[in-house]
Chain A
Amino acid sequence: NAGVMQNPRHLVRRRGQEARLRCSPMKGHSHVYWYRQLPEEGLKFMVYLQKENIIDESGMPKERFSAEFPKEGPSILRIQQVVRGDSAAYFCASSPRQGTDTQYFGPGTRLTVL
């Protein structure tokens, strides 16, 4: 059973470009969470999604950030018009059933904004 998969593992963007981060949950998991980790810090919750639904996006910046988890395909975290402050590691986690199950993390995407 493959774990949570994320791609790309490393992403470099120039200021003003768009970044798209993909997450494929573990097989059988229908709940996806995105977290952001700045250097030397712990992870911060961004958004919780189920298939075709955003359950909680209270940790997402109001501007430029969006997330989706379509019926088919991976979950996408999209950052428009990136700025240097968006440079971070973005982790996706998944759980099998309810949002209260243990969350298993992917390897992360390290975004660098030049």
Chain B
Amino acid sequence: GESVGLHLPTLSVQEGDNSIINCAYSNSASDYFIWYKQESGKGPQFIIDIRSNMDKRQGQRVTVLLNKTVKHLSLQIAATQPGDSAVYFCAERRNDYKLSFGAGTTVTVRA
């Protein structure tokens, strides 16, 4: 069935290292992808997005890569900080307004 999924449920990263969070999607009709960060007890916070006509987009300390051939999305966080500890969700949108979320990857930053 169609789904958005994350490869690993948890990721432990040393402070200062780079983090890579992966996401697989199955619907080739998806045209827009978003990464959200959710801290405990809070709502999802927009991090970065990318449209299907792009394969890379950079923000402040974050980069999103899109590989449509294998339906893979990744979020790279440079120089991971303690404040980056959270659950990260990828979401896809399929030519309308509904966002479909994966289950999330919990990132823990070790001091």
Contact = CB atoms under 8 A, between A and B. Distances in A.
A105 B103 CA distance: 17
Contacts of B43: 4, 6, 91, 105-108
Interface in A35-75: 35, 40-45, 48, 55-56, 59
A103 interface: yes
What bracket does the count of chain A residues touching chain B fall in? 20 to 34
A31 B98 CA distance: 12
A99 B103 contact: no
B70 to A, nearest CB: 21
B73 to A, nearest CB: 14
Contact of B44 (A41, A95, A99, A105): A105
A42 B97 contact: no
Interface string B80-111: 00000000010101001111111110000000
B42 interface: yes
A4 to B, nearest CB: 8
Given A104-B46, A106-B43, A43 B32 contact: no
Interface string A1-38: 00010100000000000000000000000010101000
Given A100-B32, A104-B46, A107-B43, A56 B103 contact: no
Contacts of A91: 43-44
A102 B41 CA distance: 22
A40 B44 contact: no
Interface string B12-52: 00000000000000000000101010000111111001000
A40 B101 CA distance: 12
Q: Which 6 A/B pairs are nearest by Cβ-Cβ distance?
A: A99-B97, A42-B101, A105-B43, A105-B44, A43-B101, A45-B98
A33 B41 CA distance: 19
B37 to A, nearest CB: 11
B102 A102 contact: no
A95 B42 CA distance: 19
Contact of B97 (A33, A41, A108): A33
B93 A100 contact: yes
Contact of B49 (A6, A95, A102): A102
